[in-house]
């Protein structure tokens, strides 16, 4: 699996990060897993056509000392579909910028 990982997160930083993610991207059914919705203007043609699969997401996992973001665009409606695919360069850059902006906003300097 391709991932963007930020490791060596300290316990105090983890708490700030968890609080932020819980507030903005929480899925109460899956502790430690967060879903960042992909902006529609970044969807591929196939992803755009699959209205029943939208919204599409990046899954982010907060571990004890690391945050891992899968570089796979997913739907929460299905396990398999043609619209589920590794991120394009534009999508990948976008999610990395989103994650980096979260760290900046909550003042965690990695």
Give the chain's domain count: 1
- Do 42 and 92 meet the contact criterion of CB atoms below 8 Å apart? no
CA–CA distance, 20 with 72 (Å, rounded to integer): 22
Q: Is residue 110 part of a domain?
A: no
Which whole number is the average pLDDT over 31-37?
92
In tens, the pLDDT along 41-63 reads 999 999 999 999 999 999 999 99
- Looking up tokens 């997913």, which residue turns up? 74
Give the range of the structural domain holding residue 79, as residue numbers without chain letter: 3-105
Asked whether residue 46 is domain-assigned, the answer is yes
pLDDT surpassing 90 at residue 31:
no
User: What integer best gives the mean pLDDT of the chain?
Assistant: 94
pLDDT of residue 24: 94
């Amino acid at each position: 699996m391709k991932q963007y990982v930020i490791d060596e997160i300290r316990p105090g930083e983890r708490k700030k990060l968890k609080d932020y993610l819980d507030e903005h991207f929480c899925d109460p059914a899956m502790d430690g897993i967060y879903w960042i919705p992909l902006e529609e203007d970044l969807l591929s043609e196939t992803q755009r056509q699959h209205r029943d699969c939208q919204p599409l997401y990046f899954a982010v996992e907060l571990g004890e000392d690391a945050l891992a973001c899968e570089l796979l665009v997913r739907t929460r409606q299905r396990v398999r579909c043609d619209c589920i695919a590794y991120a394009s360069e534009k999508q990948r850059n976008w999610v990395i910028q989103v994650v980096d902006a979260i760290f900046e906003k909550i003042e965690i300097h990695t």
